[in-house]
Structure 1
């Protein structure tokens, strides 16, 4: 069967005294990482929601939770009436369920979304969708070392209108071992399952439903920070596995020729101008290897990828912190008939709190996307989002955000520009129940008019947490 595709382009003492639970945890993560290393890497998905949430070694609290750090337990009790009480920083943060040195925070949200474009594509139609999200976050609060495991599962299903089935599963996990006061060993394992976007440049013309794909990722890294210099080395192994696509007239079409592995190494080094400012340089080299040497069109899609960046890490406390970098990204395929995909790369992760109760978050990243069309090597994708969260009252939170995706197609079809804007509100009935609502507008404008689409949606839901 011929496939028809859219023509787009000091470990010493501390380890010996390690608690039994922590030792078991180390063994678990090490075993998980070795499993992934035996498989290797996939292409990163295009949606911002993925790369914003999969920071492989992140030992921070969720944005709506209070930090769980070791502290005194015999503090004075606040008075029940009158002056002298100290309000909680976040009175509606989840309490969690404690088991030894582990804290579990589960949540469940159920809602309805009405949309004018169920698939966010040129062929999308009106629909009313049921959306269910289950989340479980597990973290440790040891004075040394740290570990986390976050699991998020989403299910979107049509109630009326255009038929949509969108499963999504994301698991992030990480383990940090403090070797001494200046050195740390980091391990991580991630897994994601989702359906390929209908607006993807690799979307099939003849497909009724795009394929599901699995992404498995494993990382190991070591970092050291001295009085003046600091450095970090990371190795990453990922794998992408694509399922079959359902055809409009019935039957399926295999996507197995897209399955691939990726292995990369990254080095970062810099110096401390002050405790708050740390300029750095970073280089990365990787190799992508497809299961099939040639794809269905007879092209070799395996190749090398290189990146070099210079940037600045800054930490002025909870008011202003993050990092910014700019550099160059290049993907060179083994097939001489396919041109290189390269260009400027911009990356950012910035948190700013101009006043108490207001938080601003900026995220940006540059990726290389592969292709499946004959004579097309891929595209360069720029992602960015800006979100503002403001507490009107302790139990009422307003949010607003904008995001964009700019795809530089390397097949002479120009650029695709996708813009989104969203406003929302969360009202906490009590510490365990919240009501959510949001409005969103999204549209794509492309140099090829056939790719254009527009979508408006409204969502209302209820969240339960512990």
Structure 2
């Protein structure tokens, strides 16, 4: 294994670790560990850079003939946040480059730029908006990733959303719309040839309406309806089948954003996605979500998450799949500047029209040492597994790594 071309990155990781360790006394007992940022008028600039080295025992996430490798990552990013009394405007940009030591075909660069904000029209009315553009690569082993691709599939995504929020005494109403444009690149295929992904390019439109009522100062009930339209760029005869679809979801639930020990939201309902082509059956099932944080003790925070959605299938003969997940995470402050974390996630992807059902498990644990407000070091372990009805798609992967996060 030749690591010469990564010596500058490894040197930066080692040098950065030694420098922040030498300045550890800046933290001291009782010192703050959150970044303060750079003041620029009425904005705060929060730059950061993460350097990491990771070992994986199965980088391609295959059932047999597994390949191990070292992965080195550099990830600079910057956030700009307003500190106005009214309104809000945030800007962000980030880049992530992954270097593989022995398998350079897996090298990839991801980046994103975006903005979001809020316009306070009155004390009871505001408009929220967001706009972003990103260049990314599909992670191997995920439900939509192509199993025959010789390298991670790159794609571009343009996303925009706007929401109008209105309060009427104890009642609230929100109406919003979203837009996503996805453009997938062609990739080399395992064994030769090229996979043309033009048939995956599409636009997705979404609309939602939500009504809420405050039953107490810290608890609200709500009902929400959502619509979506998915329109593919290619239509027959340019492609074999029309993959356009329309869907809806209805949920009711509770929101508790301001309680002392627990905050978050839960909802449950029903969803359905209908396809224009008679070759695809509708995908339907429970619609639900949970995003709850529990302050178990002054030193321990437990987070719960769950959800269900209809995804677009890349499996021949299947229009979509119903994905359902549940996850839990724990953060414990062992010392003021030593944080332990652990997480577990289970996801099921049930494909319509074909005999394929996948179970995913992702779990991990780590420890972070907060050197001072400018730097932290994390060492962690992650485990990933897929168990599938389809032959040859099972995998297990173990990862161990160390990261240095520099922030201002």
TM-score range, shorter chain: 0.7 to 0.9
Q: Which residue of 2 aligns with 1:347?
A: 289
Q: Which residue of 2 aligns with 1:221?
A: 163
Q: Aligned pair 1:101/2:79, yes or no? A: no
Measure, in 2, the Cα distance between the counterparts of 1:295 and 1:386: 46
Measure, in 1, the Cα distance between the counterparts of 2:31 and 2:90: 21
Tell me by how many angstroms 1:291 deviates.
Answer: 0.8
Measure, in 2, the Cα distance between the counterparts of 1:239 and 1:332: 20
Q: Which residue of 1 aligns with 2:341?
A: 399
Q: Which residue of 2 aligns with 1:64?
A: none
Q: Aligned pair 1:141/2:59, yes or no? A: no
Contact 2:135 2:157 survives alignment (8 Å) = yes
Aligned residue among 48, 53, 56 for 1:115: 56
Q: Alpha-carbon deviations, 1:290-349, whole Å to 9, x = none? A: 111237651100121111111111123463211001111211111112111111122111
Measure, in 2, the Cα distance between the counterparts of 1:135 and 1:220: 25
Q: Which residue of 2 aligns with 1:194?
A: 136
Q: Which residue of 2 aligns with 1:290?
A: 232
Measure, in 1, the Cα distance between the counterparts of 2:31 and 2:293: 18
SS for the counterpart of 1:257 is helix
Aligned residue among 425, 448, 459 for 2:367: 425
Measure, in 2, the Cα distance between the counterparts of 1:197 and 1:135: 20
SS for the counterpart of 2:243 is coil
Measure, in 2, the Cα distance between the counterparts of 1:137 and 1:90: 23
Q: Aligned pair 1:256/2:192, yes or no? A: no
Measure, in 1, the Cα distance between the counterparts of 2:282 and 2:237: 18
Q: Aligned pair 1:209/2:151, yes or no? A: yes
SS for the counterpart of 2:302 is strand
Q: Which residue of 1 aligns with 2:399?
A: 457
Q: Aligned pair 1:333/2:275, yes or no? A: yes
* CA shift in 2, pair 1:119/1:172, >3 Å: farther
SS for the counterpart of 1:298 is coil
Measure, in 2, the Cα distance between the counterparts of 1:201 and 1:181: 44
Contact 2:77 2:95 survives alignment (8 Å) = yes
Using structure 2 for the length normalisation, give the TM-score.
Answer: 0.87
Contact 2:59 2:68 survives alignment (8 Å) = yes
Tell me by how many angstroms 1:89 deviates.
Answer: 8.2
- Decide which structure has greater strand share: 2
Measure, in 1, the Cα distance between the counterparts of 2:374 and 2:180: 37
Measure, in 1, the Cα distance between the counterparts of 2:382 and 2:143: 23
Q: Aligned pair 1:379/2:324, yes or no? A: no
Q: Which residue of 1 aligns with 2:21?
A: none
Measure, in 1, the Cα distance between the counterparts of 2:213 and 2:400: 47
Gaps in structure 2 of 5+ consecutive residues? 1-27
Q: Aligned pair 1:247/2:189, yes or no? A: yes
Using structure 1 for the length normalisation, give the TM-score.
Answer: 0.77
Q: Aligned pair 1:180/2:148, yes or no? A: no
Tell me by how many angstroms 1:131 deviates.
Answer: 1.6
Q: Which moved more, 1:91-100 or 1:348-357?
A: 348-357
Contact 2:347 2:359 survives alignment (8 Å) = yes
Measure, in 2, the Cα distance between the counterparts of 1:374 and 1:428: 48
Q: Alpha-carbon deviations, 1:337-396, whole Å to 9, x = none? A: 211111112211112212223222222232212124443111111233221111112211
Q: Which residue of 2 aligns with 1:15?
A: none
Q: Which residue of 2 aligns with 1:362?
A: 304
* CA shift in 2, pair 1:177/1:204, >3 Å: closer
Q: Alpha-carbon deviations, 1:398-432, whole Å to 9, x = none? A: 11111122101113424211111111111122221
Tell me by how many angstroms 1:162 deviates.
Answer: 7.9
Q: Which moved more, 1:140-149 or 1:165-174?
A: 165-174
Q: Which residue of 2 aligns with 1:62?
A: none
Gaps in structure 1 of 5+ consecutive residues? 1-86
Contact 2:113 2:133 survives alignment (8 Å) = yes
Q: Which moved more, 1:193-202 or 1:430-439?
A: 193-202
Measure, in 1, the Cα distance between the counterparts of 2:119 and 2:29: 31
SS for the counterpart of 2:328 is strand
Measure, in 2, the Cα distance between the counterparts of 1:88 and 1:267: 49
Contact 2:106 2:152 survives alignment (8 Å) = no
Q: Alpha-carbon deviations, 1:114-138, whole Å to 9, x = none? A: 1111133436521111022212121
Q: What is the alpha-carbon root mean square deviation over aligned residues?
A: 2.2
SS for the counterpart of 1:435 is strand
